[in-house]
């Protein structure tokens, strides 16, 4: 693979797309199953546009976050090796990359439907605006969660062009799931955030209380997973509940391996556990719609 492409994939942590993308697929397949749409060439086209929107939105959001945080990242030993502070990607090049992905995102929504197109600026405000929130609110983790939570409802709107309660439940699941594991991830920077006067839950209430709040957030995520299953009893079968048990179990697991005085397995909790949880849950949920 071209070295330049690798740099930009690393810049946006492209592998982390596995957090939100599976939930976008859930939104898409629920829309297909519960509406009058059938699986045909037009459905596959919409699915392709959804995937492209997810990629462009994530590239824009992560690129913008790295662009905004480039000075701070250079001060932090953990993040100083990132592409912009390390000089692997020039600031102007990163900004051009962001603008291109923003434009591609908006253009792609035009080919989906008018509602999604007109809502695209709202989505951009949320996902790009997150990058500023750590400067003024400790609730920044929940703004990040809000950004990722747009994936299932956005995919549902792409198919149906109208809002519904069930995809909102999945969006709330993503909101509290993401917020909870982002709080865990931010434990690593508690002291740095304090020294730089940055806002975060760990910097505001300490590691132990932050882990407690993360647990509450994940409890809410579990409640919405169960609620979604009960709400969709007419279309989601037993395989959904198998996936739900696995997903909720993964939430519990990450709280057993991360302690306030032992952060050695934060990356295991953040990436491996949550990435696997998202993929497996989506696979079982989608399977339950057709088996």
Span 106-137, pLDDT tens digits: 999 999 999 999 999 999 999 999 999 999 99
Closest C-alpha to 27, from 158, 175, 119: 158
Residues 6 or more apart in contact with residue 109 via CB below 8 angstroms:
49, 53, 116, 117, 119, 120
Domain CATH code at residue 47: 1.10.357.140
Spell out the residues 6+ positions from residue 23 whose beta carbon is closer than 8 angstroms to its own: 148, 151, 152, 170, 173, 174, 278, 282
For 131, 155, 162, 221, 252, the CA distances from 8, given in Å and listed in that order, are: 18, 26, 35, 32, 33
pLDDT tens digits for range 273-289: 888 999 999 999 999 98
* Count of residues making up the chain: 291
Among all chains, which residue has been given the structure tokens 């519960």?
34
Domain that includes residue 164, residue range = 3-290
Say which range, 29-38, 46-55, 243-252, has the weakest mean pLDDT: 29-38
Please answer whether residues 54 and 91 qualify as being in contact, where contact means their C-beta atoms are separated by less than 8 angstroms.
Answer: no
pLDDT at 260: 85
262: three-class secondary structure by DSSP: strand
Tell me the CA end-to-end span of the chain in Å, nearest whole number.
39
Tokens of 49: 């546009």
Q: What is the dihedral of CA 64, 65, 70, 73, to 10 degrees?
A: -160
pLDDT at residue number 127: 95
Q: Is the pTM for the entire model greater than 0.75?
A: yes
- Name the nearest CA neighbour of 151 among 12, 20, 15: 20
How many domains are contained in the chain?
A: 1
Classify residue 116 by its DSSP letter: H
């Amino acid at each position: 693979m071209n070295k330049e492409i690798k740099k930009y994939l690393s810049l946006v942590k492209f592998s982390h797309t596995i957090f939100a993308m599976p939930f976008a697929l859930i939104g898409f397949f629920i829309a297909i199953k519960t509406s009058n749409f059938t699986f045909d060439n037009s459905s596959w086209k919409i699915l392709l546009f959804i995937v492209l929107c997810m990629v462009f939105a994530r590239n824009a959001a992560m690129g913008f976050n790295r662009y905004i945080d480039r000075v701070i990242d250079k001060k932090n030993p953990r993040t100083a090796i990132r592409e912009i502070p390390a000089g692997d990607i020039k600031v102007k090049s990163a900004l051009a990359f962001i603008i291109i992905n923003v434009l591609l995102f908006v253009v792609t929504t035009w080919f989906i439907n008018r509602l999604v197109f007109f809502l695209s600026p709202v989505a951009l405000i949320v996902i790009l605006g997150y990058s500023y929130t750590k400067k003024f609110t400790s609730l920044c983790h929940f703004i990040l969660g809000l950004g990722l939570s747009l994936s299932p409802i956005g995919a549902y709107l792409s198919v149906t062009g109208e809002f519904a309660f069930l995809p909102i439940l999945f969006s709330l699941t993503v909101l509290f799931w993401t917020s909870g594991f982002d709080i865990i991830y931010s434990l690593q920077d508690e002291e740095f955030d304090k020294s730089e006067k940055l806002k975060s839950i760990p910097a505001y209430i300490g590691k132990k209380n932050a882990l407690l709040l993360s647990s509450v957030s994940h409890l809410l995520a579990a409640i919405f997973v169960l609620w979604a299953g009960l709400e969709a009893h007419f279309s989601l079968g037993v395989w959904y509940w198998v996936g739900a048990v696995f997903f909720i179990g993964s939430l519990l697991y990450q709280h057993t391996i991360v302690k306030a005085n032992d952060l050695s397995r934060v990356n295991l909790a953040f990436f491996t556990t949550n990435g696997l949880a998202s993929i497996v849950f989506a696979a079982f949920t989608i399977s339950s719609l057709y088996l």
